[in-house]
Amino acid sequence: MERNWEALSQTNPDEFVRRVSAAIAADAWVCDGNYGLVRDLIWRRATTVVWLDYSRAVVMYRVIKRSVMRAIDRQELWAGNREDWRHWWHASHPIRWAWSTWQDRRRRFEALLNHAQYRHLTVLRLQRPGEAATVIESLKGGGV
C-alpha cells in the first residue's frame, strides 16, 4: 500500500511487479501475501508455501480485533496510513473483504496448489494457530 491506501498492484501494476521481482531476486527471501498479479512469479522461485488456512471464525476474529485496535491507537501502519473506523463499510476494507472472499479464495488456493507447475513446492497447510506456533518454534530451533 502507498499513501492514501493506494494499492500499487492496481494503480501501477508494472511498478508493483518490478518491486516484487527485485525483492525475490536474492538467493533467500520470505514473501508475505498472495497477490494474484505476482503469484506465478513468486511461486516459480519459491521452495515452500506456508498456507494459513484458518477457519472463517479465526480469520474474522483476528481481522476485527486488529482493525479495532488500530482504530483506537491510531498507530501509523505504512506510508502515513491509519485505520479509520468510517472506512469499515467499504467493500475493500479488510473486515468486509475477509468475510466476502474467504470461501472462494480458499477453494482457488487449493486448486492452484494442485497444478503441475507448482508441484515443486513444499506446502505447509496450517489450519490452526497452534500449528503455526509449532512451526515457528521449530524454525527457531533450526528445524522444518
- CA–CA separation, 74 and 126 (whole Å): 31
If one counts the domains in the chain, the total is 2
Same domain membership, residue 134 and residue 97: yes
**Are 105 and 141 found together in one domain?**
yes
pLDDT digits (tens, 9 = 90+) for 13-59: 888 889 889 999 999 989 887 788 889 999 999 999 999 999 999 99
**Claim to verify: residue 75 and residue 37 sit in the same structural domain:** no
Q: Does residue 37 sit in the same domain as residue 51?
A: no
- pTM of the entire structure? 0.77
Please check whether residues 126 and 62 belong to one and the same domain: yes
Same structural domain for residues 27 and 96? no
**Per-residue confidence at 90, pLDDT binned at 50, 70, 90?**
confident
Residues 103 and 52 in one domain: yes
Same domain, 56 and 19: no
Residue 133 CA to residue 100 CA, distance in Å, equals 27
Q: Is the pLDDT of residue 144 over 60?
A: no
Cα within 13 Å of Cα(135), Cβ side: 15
> Does 33 share its domain with 7?
yes
Is 54 found in the same domain as 37? no
Shared-domain flag, residues 75 and 16: no
Q: Are residues 59 and 23 in the same domain?
A: no
Residue 61 lies in domain: 47-144
